[in-house]
A and B are shown apart, each in its own frame.
Chain A
């Protein structure tokens, strides 16, 4: 274990896998992927640290690129900018970080610690705080474990720097940091509340970087062998194929900062004659097969292109698309009663008791 070098050949699989773990949200990793590829071409190299090798007292930076994915398509991700709030936090604390990790492995934020690492030389911890993507700060394993939510540093591409020294709750921290982020153009680099090594080992979702890379490798390998990449992911990750079909109706609206909406998928092949209603709030949240709630958060609801196995985001769903909906197991901490309070169907406004598709399954 210990430190290992993150291979150049793992960059693309990380992008493919992280986008799938984004469960429809988290923003496309494309630009961050380009950045990391370019940094490697210029000679950078990133070390990955197994969380078990953190000392209890080590200080870990938890980073994210916060904001609207659409703004990220014009104001492109930037490694120096990603590292700025980490340096701010070190200055504020008067202590150096031992390593850096992502708050969210799903989507573009999987790459944020890698960009910071390539610039600062810090290693990336093989862990995150969601095991997927979620829209808000209180939807993390750290919040579920009631860890402290402050301080937080936030940097803008201009010379604006903000430190939130205290917040009354995770939700308050989300509100305040979101407000600042909006003011600077709905995109900002942040460094969340620093974590001790002990906290990471006890409260983070462990080995999620490895998981994302391995999912990406499975997809790419299947694609290059002209085999079914969706089947390959299901087999490698112990997932469930829920529905295969085409999108016949689509409706979206933005309320309360979320991209909410529904897609209706009509069955093809084995699912011919059946129908899936899929509701999303940035990420896919709940799915009803023939009117019955069948799949729900925090289980990972992933919509993949039926042919390429590439993830389809809630912003990129389109009429006529041929998709396969699969479910991957959620990290156990999200399935605890406390976890479900934070990220279960009721946290998203659905009056449903959580029921996993893996419940009662043979182990």
Chain B
């Protein structure tokens, strides 16, 4: 799984969002100065949709109905969890190798 795809799934794990909200969430998580281009986001969304990890959600009442909301599917949640575990194992390995300090 590509980092951008994991980022999107992570963002959607908290609830359905539209594209701009996903960008804001990812940029906020990544920290100051990090940017994500619109084209990159939607190419990744296209891949995730093809893999069945993301699906279109109903636009919440009161929101701009031109916006399309995206939600994570159970398969997407499972894939994101697997990726998170893989990453956690990597972090554990890094700690064991003293590349990172011990967890508090």
B is bound to A: no
Residues of B bordering A, CB below 8 Å: none
Residues of A bordering B, CB below 8 Å: none
